[in-house]
């Protein structure tokens, strides 16, 4: 597949070294990208109109003003900001915006937005769970604005993407499929929340490769084929790995590789492009290995 990676050093400036979601994560994630020589794409900030389709004016202004004041702080007990956070977050969403555009124009078959801060917990009016703006939601809205009728989002982060689910809960053009540890932060993601286009697969603490294989080779493929989207978006959170310090899911390197293979297989079967966007993943070595195996799968497909 023709693969590109959106990356900017500005993503490293949103940082708090004592926090698990720190800049080192992205440095480790990028090592295999550089080693494999994957073409780098340079993001621009998200268009204001598109960001406004996902977040409220008040919230965007709150983020902007807080960051411009210069002193670091927290939007919620988990979610820090500093003077670079607004710029990094709008660039992260901008990578998703431009990524969708390039994919729909047929210039790439797969694009990975190697971005920070992550996005899937961010809601219309608030930052949450290390997330400022909901990058994958921005990607979905961008695709819809370009005339796409059906967007499929798959979220394999160990945490449920409450912000993404909420953004499209009443929008039948967007399917949200998530595997996550449950019960667990952020508390959402039970099967009771499922509807015609929301499919949560809550997994017990300790779930490992066998459970993931079952879900991604069967349920995911079924839902994807039934919905028949024109683009596949992936909230790629690597905290499902057994070495992750924050979560209790137990996927091995091989298990993560199988998930990525199933996602690629699903997209290839429908001949649709894939946009990955980085969410969680807090063990640096595991994150680096997961990055490598993801790009190897993409390059060999
Ligand atoms: Zn997570």
The C-alpha atoms of residue 60 and residue 131 are separated, in whole angstroms, by 13
The CA 238 to ligand 1 mean position distance, Å, reads 7
What local confidence, expressed as pLDDT, does residue 151 receive? 99
Q: How would you write 245-263 as a 3-class SS string?
A: CCCCCEECHHHHHHHHHHH
What local confidence, expressed as pLDDT, does residue 164 receive? 99
The CA 129 to ligand 1 mean position distance, Å, reads 8
Give CA torsion, residues 105, 11, 284, 275, to 10 deg.
Answer: -10
Region 106-120 average pLDDT: 98
Region 12-28 average pLDDT: 98
pTM: 0.99
Question: Are the beta carbons of 155 and 279 closer than 8 angstroms?
Answer: yes
What local confidence, expressed as pLDDT, does residue 230 receive? 98
Percent of the chain having pLDDT more than 90?
100
The CA 274 to ligand 1 mean position distance, Å, reads 20
The CA 147 to ligand 1 mean position distance, Å, reads 31
**Residue 125, helix vs strand vs coil:** coil
Question: Are the beta carbons of 263 and 248 closer than 8 angstroms?
Answer: no
Per-residue confidence band for 26, with pLDDT thresholds at 50, 70 and 90: very high
The C-alpha atoms of residue 116 and residue 74 are separated, in whole angstroms, by 16
What local confidence, expressed as pLDDT, does residue 279 receive? 99
Region 105-110 average pLDDT: 98
Token digits of residue 15: 């940082």
Mean pLDDT of the chain: 98
Q: For 200-239, how does the pLDDT look when each residue is reduced to its tens digit (9 = 90+)? A: 999 999 999 999 999 999 999 999 999 999 999 999 999 9
Region 254-262 average pLDDT: 98
The CA 114 to ligand 1 mean position distance, Å, reads 15
The CA 240 to ligand 1 mean position distance, Å, reads 8
The CA 52 to ligand 1 mean position distance, Å, reads 25
What local confidence, expressed as pLDDT, does residue 162 receive? 98
What local confidence, expressed as pLDDT, does residue 265 receive? 98
Region 271-296 average pLDDT: 98
Report the catalytic residues.
Answer: 121
Instruction: Sketch out the chain's domains with CATH numbers.
Output: 3-299 (3.40.800.20)
The CA 237 to ligand 1 mean position distance, Å, reads 6
Question: Are the beta carbons of 31 and 288 closer than 8 angstroms?
Answer: yes
Question: Are the beta carbons of 15 and 124 closer than 8 angstroms?
Answer: no
The CA 273 to ligand 1 mean position distance, Å, reads 24
Per-residue confidence band for 55, with pLDDT thresholds at 50, 70 and 90: very high
Pairing, β 174-181 against β 151-155: parallel
Per-residue confidence band for 21, with pLDDT thresholds at 50, 70 and 90: very high
């Amino acid at each position: 597949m023709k693969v590109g990676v959106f990356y900017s050093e500005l993503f490293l400036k949103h940082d708090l070294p004592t926090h698990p979601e720190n800049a080192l994560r992205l440095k480790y994630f990028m090592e295999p990208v550089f080693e494999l020589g994957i073409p780098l794409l340079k993001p621009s900030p998200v268009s204001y109109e598109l960001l406004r389709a996902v977040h409220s004016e008040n919230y965007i202004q709150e983020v902007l003003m807080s960051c411009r004041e210069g002193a670091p702080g927290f939007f919620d007990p988990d979610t820090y900001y500093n003077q670079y956070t607004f710029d990094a977050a709008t660039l992260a969403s901008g990578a998703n915006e431009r990524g969708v555009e390039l994919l729909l124009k047929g210039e790439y078959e797969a694009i990975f937005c190697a971005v920070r801060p992550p996005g899937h917990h961010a809601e219309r009016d608030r930052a949450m769970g290390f997330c400022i703006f909901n990058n994958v939601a921005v990607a979905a809205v961008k695709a819809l604005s370009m005339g796409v009728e059906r967007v499929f989002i798959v979220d394999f982060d160990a945490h449920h993407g409450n912000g993404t689910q909420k953004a499209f809960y009443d929008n039948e053009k967007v399917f949200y499929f998530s595997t996550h540890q449950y019960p667990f932060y952020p508390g959402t993601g039970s099967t009771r929340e499922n509807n015609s286009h929301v499919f949560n697969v809550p997994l017990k603490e300790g779930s490992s490769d066998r459970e993931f294989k079952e879900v991604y080779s069967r349920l995911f493929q079924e839902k994807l084929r039934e919905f028949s989207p024109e683009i596949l978006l992936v909230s790629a959170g690597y905290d499902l790995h057994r070495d992750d310090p924050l979560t209790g899911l137990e996927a091995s390197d091989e298990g993560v590789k199988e998930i990525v293979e199933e996602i690629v297989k699903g997209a290839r079967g429908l001949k649709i492009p894939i946009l990955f966007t980085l969410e969680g993943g807090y063990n640096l070595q595991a994150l680096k290995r997961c990055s490598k195996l993801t790009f190897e799968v993409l390059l060999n497909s």
